[in-house]
Amino acid sequence: MRPAHALRALRAVAGRELHSFVRQPGRLASALVRPLLWLLVFAAGFQNVFGVAINPPYDTYIEYRVYLAPGLLGMVALFNGMQSSLAMVYDREMGVMRLLLTAPLPRWWILACKLAGGATLSLAQMIAFLLAAWAFGIDIDPWYALASLPVFALAALMLGALGLVLSVYVRQLENFAGTMNFVIFPMFFLSTALYPLWKLQESGAWIVHGIAQYNPFTHAVEAMRFALYGQALWSSLAVVAGCTIAFFALALWGYDPQRGTPRRAGPP
Protein backbone atom coordinates (compact mmCIF):
# COMPACT_ATOMS: atom_id res chain seq x y z
CA MET A 1 0.00 0.00 0.00
CA ARG A 2 1.54 3.25 -1.14
CA PRO A 3 1.15 6.35 1.05
CA ALA A 4 -0.61 8.19 -1.76
CA HIS A 5 -3.18 5.40 -2.08
CA ALA A 6 -3.65 5.26 1.70
CA LEU A 7 -4.26 9.02 1.91
CA ARG A 8 -6.67 8.87 -1.03
CA ALA A 9 -8.65 6.10 0.70
CA LEU A 10 -8.68 8.07 3.96
CA ARG A 11 -9.93 11.16 2.17
CA ALA A 12 -12.62 9.22 0.35
CA VAL A 13 -13.92 7.07 3.23
CA ALA A 14 -13.60 9.55 6.10
CA GLY A 15 -14.59 12.43 3.83
CA ARG A 16 -17.80 10.62 2.96
CA GLU A 17 -18.71 10.53 6.65
CA LEU A 18 -17.97 14.22 7.09
CA HIS A 19 -19.84 15.28 3.95
CA SER A 20 -22.86 13.27 5.01
CA PHE A 21 -22.84 15.08 8.36
CA VAL A 22 -22.49 18.50 6.73
CA ARG A 23 -25.45 17.81 4.45
CA GLN A 24 -27.60 17.08 7.53
CA PRO A 25 -27.33 20.13 9.83
CA GLY A 26 -30.10 18.75 12.02
CA ARG A 27 -27.71 16.03 13.25
CA LEU A 28 -25.62 18.55 15.15
CA ALA A 29 -28.69 20.11 16.75
CA SER A 30 -30.06 16.71 17.77
CA ALA A 31 -26.65 15.68 19.12
CA LEU A 32 -26.58 18.77 21.36
CA VAL A 33 -30.21 18.80 22.54
CA ARG A 34 -29.94 15.52 24.45
CA PRO A 35 -26.88 16.34 26.61
CA LEU A 36 -27.96 19.94 27.13
CA LEU A 37 -31.30 18.77 28.51
CA TRP A 38 -29.45 16.52 30.93
CA LEU A 39 -27.09 19.34 31.84
CA LEU A 40 -29.81 21.91 32.53
CA VAL A 41 -32.83 19.86 33.60
CA PHE A 42 -31.54 16.58 35.01
CA ALA A 43 -28.92 18.31 37.14
CA ALA A 44 -31.64 20.41 38.78
CA GLY A 45 -33.15 17.27 40.29
CA PHE A 46 -29.82 16.03 41.61
CA GLN A 47 -28.62 19.11 43.47
CA ASN A 48 -27.72 17.06 46.55
CA VAL A 49 -25.98 14.22 44.75
CA PHE A 50 -22.71 14.95 46.56
CA GLY A 51 -24.34 14.91 49.97
CA VAL A 52 -22.76 18.20 51.05
CA ALA A 53 -24.35 21.35 52.37
CA ILE A 54 -23.50 24.35 50.22
CA ASN A 55 -25.22 27.69 50.64
CA PRO A 56 -27.04 28.80 48.71
CA PRO A 57 -28.40 25.56 47.17
CA TYR A 58 -27.87 27.06 43.72
CA ASP A 59 -24.14 26.51 44.20
CA THR A 60 -24.75 22.79 44.55
CA TYR A 61 -26.54 22.84 41.21
CA ILE A 62 -23.54 24.58 39.61
CA GLU A 63 -21.13 22.11 41.18
CA TYR A 64 -23.05 19.11 39.94
CA ARG A 65 -23.31 20.54 36.42
CA VAL A 66 -19.52 20.83 36.34
CA TYR A 67 -19.26 17.22 37.48
CA LEU A 68 -21.85 16.13 34.91
CA ALA A 69 -20.20 17.78 31.89
CA PRO A 70 -17.55 15.06 31.20
CA GLY A 71 -20.18 12.34 31.45
CA LEU A 72 -22.28 14.15 28.88
CA LEU A 73 -19.25 14.50 26.63
CA GLY A 74 -19.06 10.73 26.80
CA MET A 75 -22.76 10.55 25.98
CA VAL A 76 -22.16 12.58 22.82
CA ALA A 77 -19.37 10.25 21.71
CA LEU A 78 -21.36 7.14 22.67
CA PHE A 79 -24.42 8.08 20.65
CA ASN A 80 -22.34 9.16 17.67
CA GLY A 81 -20.46 5.86 17.78
CA MET A 82 -23.77 4.03 17.64
CA GLN A 83 -24.94 6.21 14.75
CA SER A 84 -21.76 5.40 12.87
CA SER A 85 -22.45 1.73 13.47
CA LEU A 86 -25.98 2.19 12.16
CA ALA A 87 -24.55 3.81 9.02
CA MET A 88 -22.27 0.81 8.50
CA VAL A 89 -25.20 -1.59 8.81
CA TYR A 90 -27.04 0.48 6.19
CA ASP A 91 -23.97 0.49 3.93
CA ARG A 92 -23.73 -3.26 4.24
CA GLU A 93 -27.36 -3.73 3.24
CA MET A 94 -26.88 -1.37 0.29
CA GLY A 95 -23.67 -3.13 -0.80
CA VAL A 96 -21.33 -0.22 -0.10
CA MET A 97 -19.31 -2.11 2.51
CA ARG A 98 -18.83 -5.01 0.10
CA LEU A 99 -17.31 -2.65 -2.44
CA LEU A 100 -15.10 -1.00 0.16
CA LEU A 101 -13.77 -4.24 1.62
CA THR A 102 -12.97 -5.69 -1.82
CA ALA A 103 -10.89 -2.62 -2.74
CA PRO A 104 -7.16 -3.29 -3.36
CA LEU A 105 -6.24 -1.95 0.08
CA PRO A 106 -5.65 -3.66 3.41
CA ARG A 107 -8.86 -4.44 5.21
CA TRP A 108 -7.57 -2.89 8.44
CA TRP A 109 -6.93 0.41 6.68
CA ILE A 110 -10.45 0.59 5.26
CA LEU A 111 -11.94 0.01 8.70
CA ALA A 112 -9.47 2.46 10.24
CA CYS A 113 -10.63 5.11 7.76
CA LYS A 114 -14.24 4.48 8.74
CA LEU A 115 -13.27 4.72 12.39
CA ALA A 116 -11.31 7.94 11.81
CA GLY A 117 -14.29 9.57 10.09
CA GLY A 118 -16.69 8.65 12.89
CA ALA A 119 -14.24 9.70 15.63
CA THR A 120 -13.70 13.06 13.92
CA LEU A 121 -17.44 13.66 13.94
CA SER A 122 -17.62 12.72 17.61
CA LEU A 123 -14.78 15.08 18.47
CA ALA A 124 -16.44 17.95 16.58
CA GLN A 125 -19.72 17.37 18.41
CA MET A 126 -17.93 17.18 21.77
CA ILE A 127 -16.26 20.53 21.10
CA ALA A 128 -19.62 22.01 20.13
CA PHE A 129 -21.12 20.72 23.39
CA LEU A 130 -18.27 22.22 25.40
CA LEU A 131 -18.90 25.60 23.79
CA ALA A 132 -22.63 25.31 24.50
CA ALA A 133 -21.95 24.29 28.11
CA TRP A 134 -19.63 27.27 28.54
CA ALA A 135 -22.37 29.54 27.17
CA PHE A 136 -24.73 28.16 29.85
CA GLY A 137 -22.33 29.05 32.63
CA ILE A 138 -20.20 25.91 33.04
CA ASP A 139 -16.79 27.12 34.22
CA ILE A 140 -14.27 25.20 32.11
CA ASP A 141 -10.70 26.42 31.76
CA PRO A 142 -10.12 26.95 28.02
CA TRP A 143 -6.48 25.88 28.22
CA TYR A 144 -7.33 22.66 30.03
CA ALA A 145 -10.11 22.03 27.51
CA LEU A 146 -7.67 22.48 24.65
CA ALA A 147 -5.16 20.15 26.30
CA SER A 148 -7.95 17.59 26.81
CA LEU A 149 -8.65 17.19 23.07
CA PRO A 150 -6.33 14.15 22.69
CA VAL A 151 -8.19 12.45 25.55
CA PHE A 152 -11.53 13.30 23.91
CA ALA A 153 -10.23 11.85 20.64
CA LEU A 154 -9.13 8.64 22.38
CA ALA A 155 -12.55 8.23 23.99
CA ALA A 156 -14.22 8.86 20.62
CA LEU A 157 -12.01 6.22 19.00
CA MET A 158 -12.88 3.65 21.67
CA LEU A 159 -16.63 4.18 21.32
CA GLY A 160 -16.35 4.28 17.53
CA ALA A 161 -14.47 0.98 17.59
CA LEU A 162 -17.26 -0.45 19.75
CA GLY A 163 -19.68 0.67 17.03
CA LEU A 164 -17.58 -1.21 14.46
CA VAL A 165 -17.92 -4.39 16.52
CA LEU A 166 -21.69 -3.99 16.75
CA SER A 167 -21.96 -3.47 13.00
CA VAL A 168 -20.44 -6.93 12.53
CA TYR A 169 -23.23 -8.74 14.34
CA VAL A 170 -26.28 -6.57 13.67
CA ARG A 171 -27.74 -8.02 10.47
CA GLN A 172 -30.67 -5.71 9.81
CA LEU A 173 -31.56 -2.10 10.49
CA GLU A 174 -34.76 -3.20 12.22
CA ASN A 175 -32.73 -4.96 14.93
CA PHE A 176 -30.40 -2.07 15.58
CA ALA A 177 -32.68 -0.10 17.94
CA GLY A 178 -32.88 -3.01 20.36
CA THR A 179 -29.14 -3.55 20.20
CA MET A 180 -28.52 0.10 21.01
CA ASN A 181 -30.75 -0.17 24.08
CA PHE A 182 -28.72 -3.13 25.32
CA VAL A 183 -25.45 -1.24 24.83
CA ILE A 184 -26.00 2.50 25.34
CA PHE A 185 -28.12 2.56 28.48
CA PRO A 186 -26.17 -0.04 30.53
CA MET A 187 -22.85 1.57 29.57
CA PHE A 188 -24.08 5.05 30.45
CA PHE A 189 -26.01 4.40 33.64
CA LEU A 190 -23.55 1.82 35.03
CA SER A 191 -20.71 4.34 34.95
CA THR A 192 -19.53 7.48 36.70
CA ALA A 193 -21.19 9.74 34.15
CA LEU A 194 -23.94 10.74 36.60
CA TYR A 195 -22.55 9.96 40.04
CA PRO A 196 -19.11 9.23 41.51
CA LEU A 197 -17.99 5.75 42.45
CA TRP A 198 -17.66 6.66 46.12
CA LYS A 199 -21.34 7.65 46.16
CA LEU A 200 -22.31 4.20 44.87
CA GLN A 201 -20.15 2.55 47.51
CA GLU A 202 -21.52 4.77 50.23
CA SER A 203 -25.12 3.96 49.29
CA GLY A 204 -24.42 0.20 49.43
CA ALA A 205 -24.93 -0.43 45.70
CA TRP A 206 -22.05 -2.91 45.60
CA ILE A 207 -23.12 -4.67 42.41
CA VAL A 208 -23.49 -1.41 40.50
CA HIS A 209 -20.21 -0.20 42.00
CA GLY A 210 -18.40 -3.33 40.84
CA ILE A 211 -19.83 -3.19 37.32
CA ALA A 212 -19.02 0.50 37.01
CA GLN A 213 -15.40 -0.16 37.94
CA TYR A 214 -14.99 -2.53 34.98
CA ASN A 215 -17.07 -0.49 32.54
CA PRO A 216 -14.83 0.95 29.76
CA PHE A 217 -17.15 3.94 29.53
CA THR A 218 -16.37 4.76 33.17
CA HIS A 219 -12.68 4.99 32.37
CA ALA A 220 -13.36 7.15 29.31
CA VAL A 221 -15.43 9.56 31.41
CA GLU A 222 -12.90 9.66 34.25
CA ALA A 223 -10.02 10.26 31.84
CA MET A 224 -11.90 13.22 30.35
CA ARG A 225 -12.91 14.51 33.79
CA PHE A 226 -9.31 14.53 35.04
CA ALA A 227 -8.09 16.05 31.77
CA LEU A 228 -10.50 18.97 32.14
CA TYR A 229 -8.80 19.69 35.47
CA GLY A 230 -5.35 19.54 33.90
CA GLN A 231 -4.51 16.09 35.23
CA ALA A 232 -3.78 12.74 33.60
CA LEU A 233 -5.42 9.58 34.94
CA TRP A 234 -2.99 7.13 33.40
CA SER A 235 -4.79 3.99 34.54
CA SER A 236 -8.01 5.02 32.79
CA LEU A 237 -6.12 6.18 29.71
CA ALA A 238 -4.46 2.77 29.50
CA VAL A 239 -7.84 1.01 29.80
CA VAL A 240 -9.38 3.19 27.09
CA ALA A 241 -6.43 2.65 24.75
CA GLY A 242 -6.47 -1.10 25.38
CA CYS A 243 -10.22 -1.33 24.77
CA THR A 244 -9.82 0.65 21.54
CA ILE A 245 -7.27 -1.84 20.25
CA ALA A 246 -9.34 -4.81 21.40
CA PHE A 247 -12.59 -3.53 19.84
CA PHE A 248 -10.87 -2.71 16.57
CA ALA A 249 -9.24 -6.15 16.48
CA LEU A 250 -12.63 -7.80 17.03
CA ALA A 251 -14.15 -5.74 14.21
CA LEU A 252 -11.23 -6.60 11.94
CA TRP A 253 -11.65 -10.30 12.70
CA GLY A 254 -15.40 -10.13 12.19
CA TYR A 255 -15.30 -8.79 8.63
CA ASP A 256 -14.50 -11.34 5.95
CA PRO A 257 -12.01 -9.89 3.45
CA GLN A 258 -13.24 -12.16 0.67
CA ARG A 259 -16.97 -11.47 0.76
CA GLY A 260 -16.85 -8.01 2.34
CA THR A 261 -19.52 -9.14 4.82
CA PRO A 262 -19.34 -10.26 8.45
CA ARG A 263 -18.55 -13.88 9.16
CA ARG A 264 -21.48 -16.12 9.86
CA ALA A 265 -21.65 -17.73 13.27
CA GLY A 266 -22.48 -21.16 11.89
CA PRO A 267 -23.15 -23.07 8.70
CA PRO A 268 -25.34 -21.32 6.11
Whether residue 259 lies inside any domain: the answer is: no
Domain span at residue 124 reads 3-254
Q: What is the pLDDT of residues 10-37, one digit of tens each?
A: 777 777 777 777 777 676 777 788 888 8
Looking at the structure of the chain, the number of domains it has is: 1
pLDDT score of 267: 47
Whether residue 52 lies inside any domain: the answer is: yes
Query: Is the predicted pLDDT of residue 54 greater than 70, yes or no?
Result: no
Q: What is the pLDDT of residues 89-107, one digit of tens each?
A: 777 777 777 777 777 778 8
Whether residue 143 lies inside any domain: the answer is: yes
pLDDT score of 46: 61
Whether residue 267 lies inside any domain: the answer is: no
Whether residue 38 lies inside any domain: the answer is: yes
Highest mean pLDDT among 35-44, 45-54, 210-219: 210-219
Place 218 in a pLDDT band, splitting at 50, 70 and 90.
Answer: very high
More confident site: 212 or 28:
212
Place 7 in a pLDDT band, splitting at 50, 70 and 90.
Answer: confident
Beta partners for 255? 262
pTM comes to 0.83
Whether residue 182 lies inside any domain: the answer is: yes
Buried b (16+ CB within 10 A) or exposed e, 42-63: ebeebbebbeeeeeeeeebbeb
Whether residue 44 lies inside any domain: the answer is: yes
Whether residue 263 lies inside any domain: the answer is: no
Q: Which of 129, 153, 157 is nearest to 227 (CA)?
A: 153
Query: Is the predicted pLDDT of residue 6 greater than 60, yes or no?
Result: yes
